[in-house]
C-alpha cells in the first residue's frame, strides 16, 4: 500500500523465488562473472543481427528464471518487461515467445526496478500469482541505436559508459512463509529530474540527481535510518556519476555509510579499461541485482539491500533536437525475511 | 484482485474522476469533434517540431484532466504514461513538466488501456491516491518515425490507417460512494498474438486476432454473458481490422450483439476519405474512450462499456529486418456505478 508520497510497502513480503542473469563476453571478463548463470563467448549469440542477439539474451534469462523457480511457464500470471530498443521490441518478442499476458514498461536503465516494483505490487495485492520481471540490453544494439554502430570504431570521452550485454529476470511469488527466499519489502517510484545536461556521453552525471531524489524520498517515506540497509546499490551511474552522487549525498545530509554504498556500473566491470566510466544499460542494474546481489543475499553476506536503478530517458531524436536529458530512478528493497521482520514489517 | 488467468476485478470500483482529450485539425473534421476538450487548428501546435507538437498535446491533456478533476497536481500519486515515439520521449517530457512519480509504459496503441488498468489497480489496492493515466499520438510525428515524413507525400494502400493526433488523460481516484462518476470494474491484460503478418500498412488485420484473444479471455475470466456490455469498443482496428474481427467473432462464437460493437478507429473519423481504413495510434482509443465514451457514460446513454485497446508492437527496425508484427490488446470495463453494482460487483 501507499507509504508517504511515492512509495509502496509490501506488507505480505512477496518472495523473489528465482532470478537469472545471462551475459556476454565483456561481462565474462569482469569481477562478477561467476554470478551469471551463463556467459556467451560470442557477442552475436549466433544470431544474424544485434537486435536478435539482444532478444536471445532476454529469452534465455526468462527461460532460466522459470526453470530455476521450478514452475511451468503457464503458472506465470504476467510478464513485465522493457528494454532500450525502439518500441521495446526485444521485450515484445520475448512476450510472443512466452505467450504470457504482458505489460510493457519503459524506464530506460531503471526498467529493472520499475518491473520488480510492479511485479511485487501485483503479487502483494493478490493481483497475480507468479510474475516474471525481466529486462535486457546489448552493447552493440544500444550503440547502434543511441550513438554509432560499433563497427565504425568511434572514439568516446572518458565519461562515457559501456552498455552491458545482459538479460536478467526474476520470478516474484506469494510468500509461502518458509523463509527460504529473499523478499521484496518496499519500493519507491521516482520522479523525473532534469538538471539541464545534454551530453549522452556523460549520463552518469545526468542521472546522479535523480538517484539522490529517490533516495531522499525512500528514506523519508519509510522513516528509515540511513544505515538501515547493508547495501545501497545505485545503477548505472558509473564512476563519474557515483562520485557526483556521493558529493550530493554529503551536501544533502543523506548519511548512507560510505562502505555500504555501491554502484552496479562500477561493480560489474571492475577496472577493465575498455569500459571507460563503467557499465550502463537496462542489463546493468538488472544483472548485478539479479545475479551478484541475489547470490550475496542467499549466501547470507547481505540481509537488507536497496537497489536504486537509474535511467536516462533520452532518445536519439530528443538528443539531436538539443533537448536535455530527463532522468529517473526507482528503488526496490530486497531483504532476507528475518531481517525484514525485525524491521517492523508485518510478516505474512 | 486476480480473476481467472489474466484479469483483475476492481472490487472497490475506482472512479474515473475526470478525463480530457485534446485533438488536432483532422479530429476537428470528424463526427466526434464535440467530444474533445480542445481542438488545435494548427497541426504543429505552434511548436518547432512534430515531436514538440506531440508533447504539447500530452501536456495539455494532463493539465486539463487535473483541472477538471478539481485537484492540484501535487495530489496525484503517480503518472502512468506512454506513447509511440522512440523511448516514449513525449511521456517522459510530460513527466518532467508535471514532476510526478512516473511509471513509463509501452503497449503501442494499447497503451491507453494498459495505463488505465494499472492506474485502477493502484487505486483499487490502496497503492495510490489519485493516478493520472495518459497517452498521446501525433500523425506527422508517427509517420516520420514509422513510415515516411508526411512532407514526402508518399502514397498509401487503402488498408493503411491514419494516426490520430490527440492527447488524452484520465484521473482515477478512490470511490467516494457518491455515485457521481463512472467507475472501473474490470481489466484483462492481453497476451501477444502474432499471426505472421508483416505489412505495417495493414495493422488492423494484424491486430484483430489479438483483440479476439483478449475478448475471449475477458468474458471467460469473469464468466460474463456476451451481451453484458452496452458497448464493446475495440481500438484501433479500423475498417479492415474490425471487419476481420467480426468474422473471427462469428467463427469463435463470441456472440457480442452486432449493434453493441464499435471500433474507435472507425468512429473517430466517420467517412472522411483521407483517413483510408480509419484512425490508429495511441491517441485513437484514448481520445474516443476518454472523450466520446465518457461523455456518453456521463449522459446516461451507456452504462457498461468495455474498451479493448489494440496495439501493434512493431518498430521500424523490426519491420526492416522482416520480422512479423506482434500484437496485443488490453481491455478495461468502465461502468456507471449502479450498473456495476447490479452486476454483482462488491460495492465499496
Contacts of B325 in chain A (CB under 8 A): none
Q: Is A189–B78 a contact, with Cβ atoms under 8 angstroms apart? A: yes
For every residue of B282-300, which 3-state class applies, written as one string? HHHHHHHHHHHHHHHHHCC
Residues A213-222 have a mean pLDDT of 98
Residues A148-171 have a mean pLDDT of 93
* % of chain A residues with pLDDT over 90: 91
Residues A227-246 have a mean pLDDT of 97
Do residues B15 and B160 both lie within one domain? Answer: yes
pLDDT score, position B245: 98
Any residues with CB less than 8 A from the CB of B200 and at least 6 apart, and which? B146, B147, B312, B314, B319, B325
Q: Is A6–B77 a contact, with Cβ atoms under 8 angstroms apart? A: yes
Do residues B145 and B253 both lie within one domain? Answer: no
Q: Does residue A36 form part of some domain? A: yes
Among A173, A198, A221, the domain-final residue is: A173
Point out the least confidently predicted range of A146-155, A225-234, B32-41.
A146-155
> Are the CB atoms for A79 and A103 separated by under 8 Å?
yes
Angstrom distance (rounded) from CA A277 to CA A299: 29
Do residues B295 and B157 both lie within one domain? Answer: no
Do residues A79 and A190 both lie within one domain? Answer: no
Do residues A238 and A163 both lie within one domain? Answer: no
Do residues A116 and A258 both lie within one domain? Answer: no
pLDDT score, position B341: 54
Among A50, A55, A62, A41, residue whose Cα is nearest residue A142 = A50
Cα of A231 to nearest chain B Cα, Å: 24
CATH number, domain with residue A92: 3.40.47.40
Q: Which of B52, B82, B87 to mutate to test the interface with A (most CBs of A within 10 A)?
A: B87
Among A183, A185, A182, A187, residue whose Cα is nearest residue A300 = A182
Q: Which of residues 259-298 of B touch A (CB under 8 A)?
A: none
Phi and psi (nearest 5°) for A62? -65, -45
Q: Is B122–A127 a contact, with Cβ atoms under 8 angstroms apart? A: no
Angstrom distance (rounded) from CA A250 to CA A247: 5
Q: Which of A189, A220, A308, A314 to mutate to test the interface with B (most CBs of B within 10 A)?
A: A189
Number of domains in chain B: 2
Do residues A69 and A141 both lie within one domain? Answer: yes
* Mean pLDDT over each residue of chain A, to the nearest integer: 95
Do residues A149 and A86 both lie within one domain? Answer: yes
User: pLDDT band for position A200 (50/70/90)?
Assistant: confident
Contacts of A328 in chain B (CB under 8 A): 92, 95, 102
Do residues B261 and B132 both lie within one domain? Answer: no
Q: Which of residues 88-117 of A touch B (CB under 8 A)?
A: 88-89, 92-93, 95-96, 99-108, 114
Q: Which of A81, A99, A192 to mutate to test the interface with B (most CBs of B within 10 A)?
A: A192
Q: Is A118 on the interface with B (CB under 8 A)?
A: yes
Nearest by CB: A191 against B51, B86, B102: B102
Contacts of B88 in chain A (CB under 8 A): 106
Q: How many CB atoms lie within 10 A of CB A292?
A: 23
Residues A59-72 have a mean pLDDT of 98
Burial B140-149 (b: 16+ CB within 10 A, else e): bbbbbbbbee
Do residues B192 and B152 both lie within one domain? Answer: no
Q: Does residue B272 form part of some domain? A: yes
Angstrom distance (rounded) from CA A281 to CA A319: 17
Please determine, for residue A241, whether its predicted confidence score (pLDDT) is greater than 80. Answer: yes
Q: Does residue B343 form part of some domain? A: no
Q: Does residue B34 form part of some domain? A: yes
Please report the ipTM that was assigned to this predicted complex: 0.96
Domain that holds residue A151: 2-173
Do residues B165 and B209 both lie within one domain? Answer: no
Q: Using a cut of 0.95, tell me whether the model's pTM lies above it.
A: yes
Q: Does residue A137 form part of some domain? A: yes
pLDDT score, position B348: 37
Among A121, A38, A49, A127, residue whose Cα is nearest residue A89 = A49
Do residues A159 and A246 both lie within one domain? Answer: no
Q: With a cut of 70, list the residues of chain B below it in pLDDT.
A: 340-348
Amino acid at each position: 500500500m501507499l507509504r508517504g508520497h511515492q512509495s509502496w510497502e509490501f506488507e505480505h513480503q512477496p518472495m523473489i523465488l528465482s532470478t537469472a542473469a545471462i551475459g556476454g563476453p565483456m561481462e565474462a571478463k569482469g569481477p562478477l562473472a561467476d554470478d551469471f548463470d551463463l556467459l556467451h563467448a560470442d557477442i552475436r549469440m549466433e544470431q544474424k543481427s544485434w537486435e536478435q542477439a539482444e532478444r536471445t539474451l532476454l529469452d534465455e534469462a526468462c527461460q532460466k528464471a522459470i526453470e530455476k523457480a521450478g514452475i511451468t511457464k503457464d503458472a506465470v500470471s504476467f510478464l513485465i518487461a522493457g528494454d532500450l530498443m525502439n518500441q521495446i521490441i526485444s521485450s515484445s518478442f520475448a512476450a510472443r515467445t512466452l505467450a504470457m499476458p504482458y505489460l510493457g514498461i519503459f524506464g530506460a536503465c531503471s526498467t529493472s526496478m520499475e518491473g520488480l516494483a510492479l511485479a511485487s505490487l501485483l503479487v502483494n495485492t493478490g493481483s497475480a500469482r507468479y510474475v516474471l520481471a525481466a529486462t535486457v540490453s546489448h552493447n552493440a544494439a544500444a550503440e547502434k541505436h543511441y550513438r554509432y554502430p560499433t563497427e565504425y570504431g568511434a572514439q568516446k570521452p572518458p565519461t562515457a559508459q559501456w552498455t552491458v550485454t545482459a538479460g536478467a529476470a526474476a520470478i516474484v511469488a506469494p510468500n509461502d512463509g518458509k523463509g527460504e527466499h529473499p523478499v521484496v519489502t518496499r519500493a519507491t517510484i521516482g520522479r523525473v529530474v532534469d538538471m539541464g545536461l545534454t551530453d549522452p556521453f556523460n549520463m552518469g552525471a545526468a542521472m546522479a540527481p535523480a538517484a539522490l531524489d529517490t533516495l531522499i524520498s525512500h528514506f523519508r517515506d519509510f522513516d528509515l535510518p540511513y544505515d538501515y540497509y547493508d547495501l545501497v546499490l545505485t545503477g548505472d551511474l558509473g564512476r563519474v556519476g557515483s562520485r557526483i552522487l556521493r558529493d550530493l549525498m554529503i551536501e544533502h545530509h543523506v548519511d548512507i555509510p560510505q562502505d555500504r554504498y555501491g554502484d552496479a556500473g562500477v561493480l560489474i566491470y571492475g577496472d577493465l579499461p575498455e569500459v571507460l566510466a563503467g557499465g550502463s544499460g537496462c542489463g546493468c542494474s538488472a544483472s548485478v541485482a539479479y545475479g551478484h546481489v541475489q547470490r550475496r543475499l542467499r549466501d547470507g553476506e547481505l540481509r537488507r539491500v536497496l537497489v536504486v536503478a537509474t535511467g536516462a530517458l533520452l532518445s536519439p531524436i530528443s538528443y539531436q533536437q538539443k533537448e536535455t536529458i530527463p532522468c529517473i530512478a526507482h528503488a526496490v528493497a530486497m531483504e532476507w525475511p528475518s531481517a525484514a521482520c525485525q524491521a517492523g514489517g508485518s510478516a505474512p
